[in-house]
Amino acid sequence: MSFINYSSREINCKIVYYGPGLCGKTTNLQYIYGKTAPDAKGKMISLATETERTLFFDFLPLALGKIRGFRTRFHLYTVPGQVFYDASRKLILKGVDGVVFVADSQIERMEANLESLDNLKVNLHEQGYDLDKVPYVMQYNKRDLPNAAPLEEMQKLLNPSGMTDFEACATTGTGVFETLKAVAKGVLTDLKKMGK
Amino acid sequence: MDTQLIMYDEDLKKILAVIQKLVRDANAKGIFLVDKNGQMIAEAGEMEGIDTTSLASLTAGNIAATGGLAKIIGEDEFPTHFHQGQRDNLHISIVAQRMILVVIFDDRSSLGLVRLRVKKAGAELGRLIEEMQKKSDHAASGDGSPFAEITDDDIDNLFE
């Protein structure tokens, strides 16, 4: 959960990018890293295999500016998407403040999307969270591919409750910052509600 | 589920007093207090210029992973870890269930000395952290959060 440090006047929040293997979670972070001014970001850490598949997590610390004199810092994490890394995914969800689900738009990945989304719900539940209550954004990635499923179909399948969603192409950056802003807003709005 | 953590100036001062003393008592190069979610809480010692944000996140990842391993073999968690390097060594211990105390030391100190001093300082830190958690819970339950007053415009302005 968020950490408010009065001494350094900072709010620290944790956002996790979730989704099936090869859906583009790491690519989202790499794009954000590449486009952020050096003074607003820390080092990006990727704990990956030799073939650059995420083994444990990617981590990117970002500073977004000040609110009421408090610097807002977001720690972005990705989980390893491959099914057999479930134990690691659970660990990374600990203390999460906001979740981005990155769905792979390719028709043949729909089942993997559904499986990963179910896995997210189960793992959040194990930590005492409910996906309907955690700030949450859906991103339909790889919209540029010729085998992308129709948007309406993906919405019906993966986002029936109509949470905030974005179309994206993480390699070119389309929709990447929109997704990040939406989830960060959700987290801060939640923080505001908690203070009331 | 974890609860929000709030650290006030006076909390940090008390924590710093304990870890600065620990740096001296254990002949350590640097000491870091990190929460299990990867947030840096406090640091002391001579490790200037080190990437503390990465250190905090990787420490938390390490503790999470070994905690998972512990559960597989029927342990609750491994409360202390020791990593031996060529020059510098790491002593990592869990304090008050939700914090991690990281001590970096070289051959000016020894594992035995660090262990001994950490034990005492850990107990003191445990008390301070529990106190801080109680205050945080109290603030989260209604009064005192500075963020009750933020407006949607404040949030929007952040992204302009």
Q: Chain A interface, mutation test: which of B147, B150, B153, B158, most A Cβ atoms within 10 Å?
A: B147
Place B138 in a pLDDT band, splitting at 50, 70 and 90.
Answer: confident
> What distances in angstroms separate CA B156 from CA A96, A142, A167, one per listed residue?
22, 28, 21
Q: Which residues of A touch B3 (CB under 8 A)?
A: 1
Token pair 């769905």 is found at A103
pLDDT the model gives residue A2: 87
pLDDT tens sequence across B5-27: 899 999 999 999 999 999 999 99
Whether the CB of B37 is below 8 Å from some CB of chain A: the reply is yes
pTM of the model: 0.92
Name the 3-class secondary structure at A10. strand
Residue B101, domain member (yes or no): yes
Block means of pLDDT (10 residues each) for chain A, 196 residues, are: 90 96 97 95 93 93 91 96 93 95 98 98 94 96 98 97 97 97 93 72
pLDDT tens sequence across B83-127: 999 999 999 999 999 899 999 999 999 999 999 999 999 999 999
pLDDT the model gives residue B148: 74
pLDDT the model gives residue A88: 93
pLDDT tens sequence across A9-24: 999 999 999 999 999 9
Q: Kindly report the CATH number assigned to the domain that includes residue B73.
A: 3.30.450.30
Q: Which residues of A touch B147 (CB under 8 A)?
A: 4, 11, 67-68, 188, 191-192, 194-195
Nearest to A140 by CA among A123, A158, A160: A158
Q: Chain A interface, mutation test: which of B36, B158, B160, most A Cβ atoms within 10 Å?
A: B158
A93 and A125 Cβ atoms separated by less than 8 Å = no
> Between chains, do A87 and B39 touch, taking CB under 8 Å as contact?
no
Range of the domain at A90: 3-195
pLDDT the model gives residue A191: 85
**Number of independent structural domains in chain A:** 1
- Residue type at position B149: E
> Between chains, do A67 and B3 touch, taking CB under 8 Å as contact?
no
Range of the domain at B97: 9-157
Residue B130, domain member (yes or no): yes
**Exposure of A131 by Cβ count < 10 A (0-12 exposed, 13-18 middle, 19+ buried)?**
middle
For A58, residues 6+ apart whose C-beta sits below 8 A from its C-beta are A25, A26, A29, A44, A45, A46, A47, A48, A76, A77, A78
Residue B2, domain member (yes or no): no
**Number of independent structural domains in chain B:** 1
Whether the CB of B148 is below 8 Å from some CB of chain A: the reply is yes
Residue B106, domain member (yes or no): yes
Q: Kindly report the CATH number assigned to the domain that includes residue A77.
A: 3.40.50.300
B91 and B118 Cβ atoms separated by less than 8 Å = yes
Q: What is the largest CA-CA distance in chain B?
A: 55
